[in-house]
Structure 1
Amino acid sequence: IGSLIVFGTSAVIRKKFSASNFWKDCVKFNCTASQYIGEICRYLLAQKPCEEEKKHRVRLMWGNGLRAEIWNDFVSRFGIERIGELYGSTEGNSNIVNIDNHVGSCGFFPIYPYIGGLYPIRLIKVDPETGELVRDANGLCIPCRPGELGEMVGVIKNKDLLLKFEGYVNKGDTQKKIYRDVFEHGDQ
């Protein structure tokens, strides 16, 4: 909503999501972008075709949870020019976004050391069986190579507005989520 206020645009907010009325609302309110979460795109694909799904002006859909298996069908059927799939959390200090329209991707990681200092997130190795962090002989985490599965982490710097992590109401839960000695001894 913040960017809507900054740029002076409008938003349409329904009391409850309706797959059968989604495209009708988009036409009625002249929408050009929409947000999705989870299975909304699948729900829209499951609807019977309607004339509004071809008459709308929506050019961008952004959100998280669009499955790769239905991505192309969704884009083709509804004529969506751009999908902005993202990954992150409201309470976290890092996120990634797919700006390239690459089917199935939720974003990319900066190339270290070139861009990493500006946005210090990495993908680190975890044991696929236990989910535990994999560490080297020095006790530090091991970065993933391109194409390897891992866990996304962001450096926490509480004096930096963009990199701080305030945590949860329950301090114990907060401490469980914070990894230490990740890239260097003493970091978090």
Structure 2
Amino acid sequence: MDATPRWFTETDEGHSAWYVEHFRALAAEGADLEGEARFVDASLPPASRVLDAGCGPGRLGAALHARGHRVVGVDADPVLLAAAREDHVGPRWVLADLARLDLGEVFDAVVAAGNVMVFLARGSEEVVVGRLAAHVAPDGILVLGFRTDRHVTPDDVEAAATRSGLHPEHRFATWDLRPWRDDADFVIVVCRRPGTT
């Protein structure tokens, strides 16, 4: 397993700063950047605990916080995390590698939305799914959204989640709940940890 995420090895120098400014500009233009947050919010009771895994500059975590959820955002990129802290007061922002993540708490939802799975270190995908699953509370969900034209497949992710004690529950092709098709170029996988009842 490679120790360095693809986010650092397969992007150009300055990519993180560009990414921050790109999403700041989209927000300033009034672009709809909350599709993932609507999806997650609709899946949870009010005031749920949410882990935004691979939170980047904090757009998803901030939107969920604004909807009343208690949010922790985690990212390995200090540039992105600094932007999250600067732009979005409320959630707790933590610098950490998802392959070694151990926050010592569980969440009603763990979400990795913005192609996090395709930017992980080579060979770390199953380890990361296991670390994320370890943070899912009983009856909680793991939600992973990513492009399907890369090296990770929905079957791979669901198999890893199953080995970590979760049960695959849904697949969608978009955050607005369009049905999954085998030729879709994006997938949202939802897996649930069995409840205590």
- TM class by shorter chain equals 0.3 to 0.5
Greater share of residues in helix: 2
Q: Which has the higher contact order (CA 8 A, sep 6+)?
A: 2
Quick check: which has more Rg, 1 or 2?
A: 1
Normalized against structure 1, the TM-score is what? 0.35
Greater share of residues in strand: 2
